Structure 1
Amino acid sequence: MIRTDPETPDLFITPVEEVFIRNHLGPAPRLDRDTWTLTVEGAVERPLRLDFPALLDLPQTRFTAVHECFGSPLRPHVPTRAVTNVEWAGAPLAAVLALAGPRPEARHVWLEGADRGDFAGESGLTYLKDLPLDQAGAEVVLAHSMNGEPLRPDHGYPVRAVAPRMFGTNSVKWLTRIVLAAERPDHLFTTRLYTRVPPGGGEARPVREKDVGSKLLTPRDGGSVPAGACELEGYAWSATEVTAVEIAVDDADWQPAELERRGPHPSWQRFRLRCDLAPGPHRVRCRATDSAGRVQPLTGDRNAVHEIGILAE
């Protein structure tokens, strides 16, 4: 199931109603918070079964982070730009792992949701993702709240994993099972889909950390604006901080935009540039650079520069 989020350039936090929804395995499971449990098993000293009150008794954290869909795993190079900025609250996975006690051979964390179904010719699937234990323990949160309210059914109620610096595919919804293991699981959504070859070639790697990206939101694509002074605005994001955004109008040179700092959370960053537009149609593009030195490609990949067309009247 796919829904596309409306664009709300004036809002730093995306309203829940406008957060995109992506489901691979059919309708969203309808779980009851009163009967929900989370099992923690595998290479642990103390297997666990936590209910919702037990999760709330753990230390809690609240943070704002970009939530971005990688796009179709069957078309991994096609730009999608389904991206929002959300406030999450929940218990750090590290607190759950401390209760369970990973054994020395544990190297990977498997996260499994309650959704079941068929995808890409395979039947009877569960939604399963895996992460390195050290990375999952440092970053993942078991979230029960979005924008100050309980998760809604389509967003993973009652509990989902949230990996703030990673694509949404790693933030497993309707979380019911965690397995610690020495090896990665061989599964459609872990080793056969959601992998890609890095720039320059080499061995395929799991889709995890977000790419550097940016999106123009004002003016809207296909819209009209008064000729003359115009303010171009949007948001940029990455797994790390974005350090620069440039904007090009028609065939003119790239111009540096004013860019807000990211702050303590992995949120998106607003950018803006004032320019003068002659009457007529215009093509506007934006590209971002992050602190790792990654730059959006002009074409050919899922995070290629965003382009809009506007008419100055």
Structure 2
Amino acid sequence: MSRLVCRINPVMATQLARIAADKLMKHGARRAPASSTICHPCRLRARPLHTSASRRTPPNTTSRSAPQTPTSSTAITARVAPIGWLVGGGLVASLLAFSQTHDTDNPPEASVSPSADDRDPSIPRFRLSDVRKHDANSPEPWVTFEDKVYNITDWVEAHPGGDVILRAAGWSIEPYWNIFSIHKAPHIREILEQYMIGFIDAADLGPDGRPAAESIEDPFVDDPVRDPRLITHTVKPRNAEPPNEELDRTFYTPNELFYIRHHMWVPVVEEAKADEFALTVELPDGEAKRYTIGELRSKFPTHKVTAALQCSGNRRNDMTRHAGKTNGLQWGVGAISNAEWEGVRLSDVLADAGLDTTPAQPEANSLHAQFTGAEAYSASVPLPKVLSPTGDVLLAFNMNGEPLPRDHGFPLRAVVPGNVAARSVKWLNKIVISDEEATSQWQRRDYKSFGPNEGPNPDWDKAPSIQEMPITSAITGVWVGDCVRKVPWMGGGNGVKSGGSKRTIDIAATPQKVGFTPKPETAAPCPETTPDNEPIVLQGYAYSGGGRKITRVDVSLDGGATWDQAELVDDCSNPATPCYGNKSWGWTRWRYNGTLPVLSLPTSTTTTTSSPTPQIPTAIQKVGQDCEDGFGQSVGGLMGQLPKKQCTTLIVKATDESYNTQPESHKGIYNVRGNLATAWHRVRICPECNKGKGGGLVWNTGETYGCGFRKEAEEVREGMRAASASSGSGK
């Protein structure tokens, strides 16, 4: 924790101490307990307060109206910002997650402000020339925002990413906010106000009450070019997922379509010098050893592991739509991808560095492997995971048979199969074996989950950091009616098991555009119901953490009233996609072919009745009630009321070899961070009468892709972008 210590003359000491205390209390500060340094709001390990002998005295850099005599000081400790609200944008998140304020025996004094300055006169003023002196080379770096000054000294020392923050030291953070625009939010401003140490002097302000605008070099200027097919949630830093039609088209996700999750910009490492890139390994006794990638390649045997990486926020948009508002990037079902990784085992490297890697060693259970990347991201995993003979933790330099792409960690990354992808740190340059987990906000405050009742300010220390991922599954493609002819994986007459039998579908090419039911050549009247044998084909993926194998995928076409089993694709038996590793670390693709229930198709959207409609069987009405909101809620609220639409909800849920299965509802696992959104995946599909030329029947959905739907991939992208914008930023 930091302190604001004011040395003043004896006459003014009491009065100014009271004013300062009142002001800081007004902005959310609290008086420092005499014998405590616990940072309650952030619940991270607090650093001891500086003793008088250890305090650093910065250069006398600011203007003073008169010399002052040091006297006894009054210490006031400000509240630390809840870092969990701030992380996720890298630099700007770091710029805000700092502790307030100035700690010195010789603080700068306020300059005399012009009479036109109507800001609070009890708060100090600082000239910009003095702020400039508190740059990255100063023992006390400062930043400004609008007309205020902030001290970031203790944050830089206490948190990873400090070197990144120093880019803004001595200057304004506003140009960085213009780049990390996702952080321009009211709650961020409220937090920032807690850490002000003074105003910019009025002499340095323009007519608009702000200093002259500054410009900075865009730190993202050297980021790689991305595939345009990716659905982008944020541009700077880039966070993007593949569209459903590309997500699980193949067992191994192509490198250019592998989902992207960044907190900052992509570090630049010259390809020609990749083998010189160094990794430092530090043991608990402080001994450290350095390895270049060239040495890793030549000194240790290489291994391959097939593993899916999944963000803890995958399917967060489902939780938002079905349970409540969540803070974070509104991922669809695509924050997961599968790849073949190649590198050296971390356990081999640790043994070479001098660590006792015997799995049975008692000390291992209390140790952690902390990973730090070149862009300052930091996370950790328990050491037993690393030392397990079947853990398959790699220091990887290849991905799908090629050098790691820059977006995915070039030239070196950790791959921790079965665990949340947040632990597979990219651009890896340091590993520390420690008796505690990583102290970064990404470990201690971000990637955790809480009970539905705990609200936006949970006790972060109460919940363990997410490591092994729970089971999940998703529908990624749906084809209805004649469009089953377009199912890409049904070539060669291969059917898909459905209800214990096989159906072979003629997949001869048809001229219609994927995304639309073919229109008849002549106008046809709208039918009263959908056909009683309307074929439907689904595809998707299932995954369980910890290396647990998927053993069953259940599919429902009527909102959960009845169930059937999908066929699991045995990709590992395909010579073109062999699986590597000691456990089932990869995802499992599944396929399903069935027949839709009969649905009514009212020609009028205003028809209602107070009693059951005779021509529509009760079972069909039940299907309609399950579908309007896609979450099992009654349409119109009454069994006898004919809804404007009669839809059905497709559902998928998976089971692994330990008989773990997915929860039915997101409401039961809701948390404001939107982590681990693993409830049954639901996709609503609705038949409608085609009112355009040709008439007939059309289907629509906004949640997946395939043939037979009015909405195509671009419309899905737009919907996801809108949901992301309305829900705010985050992880």
Report the TM-score, using the length of structure 1 for normalisation. 0.86
CA contact (8 A) 1:224 1:311 kept: no
- Which position in structure 1 is the counterpart of 2:471? 212
In structure 2, C-alpha distance between the alignment counterparts of 1:79 and 1:18, rounded to whole Å: 15
2:309 pairs with 54, 67, 91, which one?
67
In structure 1, C-alpha distance between the alignment counterparts of 2:564 and 2:453, rounded to whole Å: 28
- Which position in structure 2 is the counterpart of 1:109? 369
> Match for 1:286: what amino acid?
V
In structure 2, C-alpha distance between the alignment counterparts of 1:90 and 1:34, rounded to whole Å: 13
- Which position in structure 1 is the counterpart of 2:649? 283
Change (3 A) 1:109 1:143: same
Change (3 A) 1:211 1:224: farther
Deviation at 1:96, TM superposition (A): 0.6
In structure 2, C-alpha distance between the alignment counterparts of 1:65 and 1:144, rounded to whole Å: 14
CA contact (8 A) 2:418 2:468 kept: yes
Identity of aligned residues (%): 32
CA contact (8 A) 2:549 2:584 kept: no
Higher relative contact order (CA 8 A, sep 6+): 1
SS in 1 for 2:384: helix
In structure 1, C-alpha distance between the alignment counterparts of 2:440 and 2:446, rounded to whole Å: 8
2:414 pairs with 161, 171, 182, which one?
161
The unaligned stretches of length 5 or more in structure 2 are: 1-236, 317-325, 455-460, 481-513, 519-530, 573-582, 602-646, 670-676, 688-696, 698-731
* CA-to-aligned-CA distance 1:208-243 (integer Å, 9 cap, x gap): 111101111221799556872222221111011122
> Match for 2:420: what amino acid?
F
The answer to whether structure 1 residue 38 and structure 2 residue 282 are counterparts is: no
The answer to whether structure 1 residue 152 and structure 2 residue 460 are counterparts is: no
Change (3 A) 1:216 1:110: same
Change (3 A) 1:203 1:291: farther
The answer to whether structure 1 residue 230 and structure 2 residue 596 are counterparts is: no
Aligned pairs for 1:104-183 (under 5 A) are 107-115=367-375, 126-138=376-388, 139=391, 140-183=393-436
Deviation at 1:47, TM superposition (A): 2.3
Change (3 A) 1:31 1:79: closer
In structure 1, C-alpha distance between the alignment counterparts of 2:451 and 2:385, rounded to whole Å: 20
SS in 2 for 1:292: coil
1:298 pairs with 664, 667, 670, which one?
664
Indicate the structure with greater helix content.
Answer: 2
Indicate the structure with greater strand content.
Answer: 1
CA contact (8 A) 2:479 2:537 kept: no
RMSD between superposed Cα atoms in Å: 3.0
Across the two proteins, how many residue pairs are aligned to each other? 302
- Which position in structure 2 is the counterpart of 1:13? 252
Change (3 A) 1:40 1:59: same
Change (3 A) 1:179 1:17: same
CA contact (8 A) 2:471 2:678 kept: yes
SS in 2 for 1:191: helix
- Which position in structure 2 is the counterpart of 1:268? 587
CA contact (8 A) 2:555 2:565 kept: yes
In structure 2, C-alpha distance between the alignment counterparts of 1:41 and 1:163, rounded to whole Å: 19
Deviates more, 1:102-111 or 1:217-226: 217-226
> Match for 1:216: what amino acid?
I
CA contact (8 A) 2:371 2:430 kept: yes
CA contact (8 A) 2:566 2:590 kept: yes
CA contact (8 A) 1:110 1:129 kept: yes
Change (3 A) 1:298 1:262: farther
Deviation at 1:275, TM superposition (A): 1.0
* CA-to-aligned-CA distance 1:3-35 (integer Å, 9 cap, x gap): 1212323311111111011111x2111123143
The answer to whether structure 1 residue 4 and structure 2 residue 241 are counterparts is: yes
In structure 2, C-alpha distance between the alignment counterparts of 1:265 and 1:44, rounded to whole Å: 35
CA contact (8 A) 1:245 1:257 kept: yes
In structure 2, C-alpha distance between the alignment counterparts of 1:217 and 1:78, rounded to whole Å: 17
Deviation at 1:85, TM superposition (A): 1.0
> Match for 1:208: what amino acid?
Q
Change (3 A) 1:238 1:223: farther
> Match for 2:384: what amino acid?
D
Deviation at 1:198, TM superposition (A): 7.4
The unaligned stretches of length 5 or more in structure 1 are: 116-125
Deviates more, 1:59-68 or 1:262-271: 262-271
Deviates more, 1:236-245 or 1:290-299: 290-299
